[in-house]
Structure 1
Amino acid sequence: MDEKTEELRDLFVDATGSETVTDRQEEPPGSLLDRDDDAVADRVAALVATMRERYGFDSDLDDAQYERVAAGFFDGEDDAAIADVVGGSGSAVDARAVRDARLDLHLVADADRDAPFEYAALKRLLAADRSVEAAAAELEADVETVREFVPVARADLASTRVNDRFRDEFRALLTDADIEDAHAATAREDGLREATEDIETDVSL
């Protein structure tokens, strides 16, 4: 490989984070550009039903309410706001019930993991079947504080065991993830093209 080719290759790696050149893929099926709202709703309902059958749910919400919880989560609504919509006026549905439903769906927010101890250590202890009391002792934390984070850690562990399948599919169905990924790929390609043009200009001079 000559000096110019090697420099172009280094620029490609810097711009794309990859050493392999691939053709640009077309917009994947199911993107927001052409997705059918009814089909999305049907798929979300199917995911909720599958998870209820597989795991059992901790809250008393019905499937339609779980679907609304998922949609609200990816719309950036907090648990209290979702509870207002799901339950309506005078309903017993509160933010705690919505949190439980989110965790049933493996939808863990970053704020849920903000523990006053090492959260990753809690996950390791629970994965090793340690009791809450034993985990609290090892973490040197209050038992009730640890207990508050146990459902979060268990949701993360359950999601990890299925390679985040449900969480990722909800995200793909309920967000602009496909479009954002396509835009990121385009930006990387544009950066590579501009860098390559600059190199070619320098070489010609």
Structure 2
Amino acid sequence: MDEKTEELRDLFLDVTEEDTVTERQEETPGSLTDERSVEERLTAVIERMQGAYEFDTDWSTEEYRRLVRGFFEENDELAAEFDADEDELFRARMDLHLLREADEEFPFELRELRERLEADESPEEVAAAYDVDEATVRRARRVQRAREEARTANDRYRDEFEELVADGDLSNRLARDAREDGLKEATEGMENDIEM
């Protein structure tokens, strides 16, 4: 410590009547990734949906969160990952309005299906009219209902899911890049003394 610094320290100690000049840092350093926050926000969106709509599946919130992540990461092995059959996985996706283009491909228009069902035609009659099985009619009805719910909500839930998953991925990429950049800077100019 130089003379000027000592004078300032003594002056500070006299004025404040403290024993020490330094303060401890109370807050922990921040992080580029706030994974907990993303998980909490995903949970909040899922719980809002459960309050607004009737779900066909009784999955846990954690399972729904994993489904959202897998859907936007385009994981083709989701059914195996959840130990669920394709129909259960499909119903869970419809619960969360996670539709794919392929979900809406039927040998009939969904609008026509809705009109027939609203005219009190039974699923058996509709299936016979279109020459398909009842499972196809039930699947189409679920797609049609999920699409109507999503449209009524302006696709808000799907957009929120996509944004949260993308933000989480971006945060993870930024953190990884920052670590790699820091490592690169730390090792720059170092000589490697390796004997072969």
Shorter-chain TM band: 0.5 to 0.7
- Contact 1:83–1:95 (CA<8 Å) still a contact in 2? yes
Deviation at 1:148, TM superposition (A): 2.4
Q: Which residue of 2 aligns with 1:40?
A: 38
1:113 to 1:132, Cα distance in 2 relative to 1, 3 A? farther
Residue number in structure 1 paired with 2:80: 84
Residues 50, 39 of structure 1: alpha-carbon distance in 2 compared, 3 angstrom cutoff: same
Specify every segment of 5 or more residues in structure 2 that has no aligned partner in the other structure, as ranges.
1-31, 171-196
Larger-gyration structure (1/2): 2
* Partner in structure 1 of residue 47 of structure 2: 49
Following superposition, the deviation at residue 64 of structure 1 comes to 0.6
Measure, in 1, the Cα distance between the counterparts of 2:99 and 2:58. Answer: 19
Q: How many residues align?
A: 136
Aligned to 2:71: 73
Cα deviation digits, residues 162-192 of structure 1 (max 9, x gap): 111111111111237xx9xxxxxxxxxxxxx
Identical columns (%): 35
Note if contact 1:113-1:152 (Cα within 8 Å) is conserved in structure 2.
Answer: yes
Deviation at 1:131, TM superposition (A): 4.6
Deviations 1:105-151 (A, max 9, x none): 0101111111111234335656x575554982796443613222111
- 1:98 aligned to which of 86, 89, 99: 89
Give the conservation status (yes or no) of the 8 Å contact 1:123–1:154: no
Cα distance change, pair 134–99 in 1 and its aligned pair in 2 (3 A): closer
CA gap of 1:168–1:117, structure 2 versus 1, over 3 A, is: same
Instruction: Indicate the SS of the match to 2:161.
Output: helix
Residue 161 of structure 1 aligns with an amino acid whose one-letter code is T
Shift of 1:41: 1.3
